[in-house]
């Protein structure tokens, strides 16, 4: 007398299963649309909670790209030993140009250096009084674009230090180090914030679904009485949680996008002042997907916890 022999009819089982899921989904949608203002408000709150860390992350990503741009200005200066002859210096330049990780090499002879020094006001008289030219050969190296991580730069400067003619190596990257340390710090801070706000979203959905289960208390009792399983009871609430998450995620996504559009104009103006072609990049496809998946997952989890605790407290 059973309706279906489920094990022997997998196809039917599948149809039944999906039909029930759709039914539960539509039921939840109907329930939520019956109190549109409440649902909307909840979703906006979820959206704002998610938009805040997301915006910060996107902005930080932009700062990172910007710092990559800036790092391309990093140069390494080699000061050669004072005994170096012109011929040795030219050979070295030739050798350096072939080194991996080196983009361009510019040699500055002692005479050139002195000349440049004399151009600078205030120094000229002091320099003119020197008995001989104290400046060594200097070679300015611009690392290639692929060699811009801190580690690569340090390795490169270490290698350069090994060259016998080289007296000292100066890596002009300290401020970038500081910037990077700051970025790492900001990353952590934002992830911490995201964690807190994620928990907040979880609690918001949890609270909404909990009150929904309390409102459907009688319905839950009746369904239990006539043989509804826990998963049957849980299903519409899980859908409701997922819908909250999805709508909240979409709102967050739109908010982030809106904010970035709003910032794009002043950013490119700022970049123009620095002669940079830098433009603010948006949230991106993968990040958008991640945001939506995360918000749906938070909604689902919040709902699951709410229904779980309310099913446990039910007697029937």
Of 31 and 206, which CB lies nearer to another protein in the complex structure? Answer: 31
DSSP state of 81: P
Binding range to another protein, per CB under 8 A, among 120-128, 167-175, 215-223, 273-281:
215-223
Using rule CB under 8 A, residue 218 touches another protein? yes
Using rule CB under 8 A, residue 312 touches another protein? no
Of 122 and 227, which CB lies nearer to another protein in the complex structure? Answer: 227
Of 113 and 228, which CB lies nearer to another protein in the complex structure? Answer: 228
Using rule CB under 8 A, residue 82 touches another protein? no
Using rule CB under 8 A, residue 4 touches another protein? yes
SS3 of residue 21 by DSSP: helix
Using rule CB under 8 A, residue 20 touches another protein? yes
Binding range to another protein, per CB under 8 A, among 106-114, 128-136, 229-237, 259-267:
229-237
User: Which of 35, 106, 207, 229 touches another protein (CB under 8 A)?
Assistant: 229
Q: Name the H helices within the chain.
A: 10-34, 36-71, 86-97, 110-119, 124-128, 150-162, 174-215, 217-225, 230-273, 285-313
SS3 of residue 163 by DSSP: coil
| Contact (Cβ atoms closer than 8 angstroms) between residue 103 and residue 143 | yes
Q: How far is the CB of 307 from another protein (least distance, A)?
A: 16
In this structure, what token pair is assigned to residue 154?
């340090």
Q: What does the angle CA 151 – CA 156 – CA 160 come to, to the nearest 5 degrees?
A: 150
Of 233 and 301, which CB lies nearer to another protein in the complex structure? Answer: 233
d(CA 120, CA 174): 25
Q: Which long-range contacts (CB under 8 A, 24 or more apart) does 112-120 make?
A: 113/138
Of 157 and 213, which CB lies nearer to another protein in the complex structure? Answer: 213
Q: Which residues of the chain form contacts with another protein (CB under 8 A)?
A: 1, 3-4, 16, 20, 218-219, 221-230, 232, 315-316
């Amino acid at each position: 007398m059973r309706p279906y022999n489920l094990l022997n009819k997998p196809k039917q089982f599948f149809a039944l299963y999906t039909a029930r899921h759709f039914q539960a989904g539509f039921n939840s949608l109907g329930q939520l649309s019956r109190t549109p203002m409440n649902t909307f408000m909840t979703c906006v709150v979820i959206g704002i909670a998610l938009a805040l860390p997301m915006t910060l992350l996107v902005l930080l990503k932009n700062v990172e790209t910007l710092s990559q741009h800036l790092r391309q200005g990093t140069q390494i200066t080699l000061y050669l030993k004072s005994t170096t002859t012109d011929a040795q210096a030219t050979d070295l330049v030739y050798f350096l140009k072939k080194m991996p990780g080196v983009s361009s090499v510019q040699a500055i002879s002692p005479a050139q250096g002195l000349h440049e020094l004399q151009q600078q006001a205030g120094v000229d008289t002091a320099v003119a009084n020197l008995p001989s030219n104290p400046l060594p050969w200097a070679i300015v190296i611009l690392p290639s674009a692929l060699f811009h991580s801190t580690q690569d730069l340090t390795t490169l400067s270490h290698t350069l230090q090994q060259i016998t003619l080289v007296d000292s190596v100066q890596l002009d990257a300290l401020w970038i180090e500081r910037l990077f340390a700051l970025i790492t710090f900001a990353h952590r801070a934002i992830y911490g914030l995201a964690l807190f706000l994620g928990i907040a979203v979880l609690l918001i959905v949890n609270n909404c679904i909990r009150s929904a289960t309390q409102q459907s208390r009688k319905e839950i009792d009746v369904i239990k009485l006539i043989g509804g399983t826990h998963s049957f009871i849980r299903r519409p609430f899980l859908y409701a949680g997922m819908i909250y998450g999805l709508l909240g995620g979409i709102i967050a996504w739109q908010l982030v996008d809106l904010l970035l559009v709003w910032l794009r104009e002043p950013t490119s103006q700022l970049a123009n002042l620095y002669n940079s072609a830098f433009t603010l990049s948006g949230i991106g496809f993968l990040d958008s997907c991640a945001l939506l998946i995360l918000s749906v997952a938070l909604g689902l989890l919040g709902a699951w916890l709410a229904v779980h605790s309310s099913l446990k407290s039910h007697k029937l």
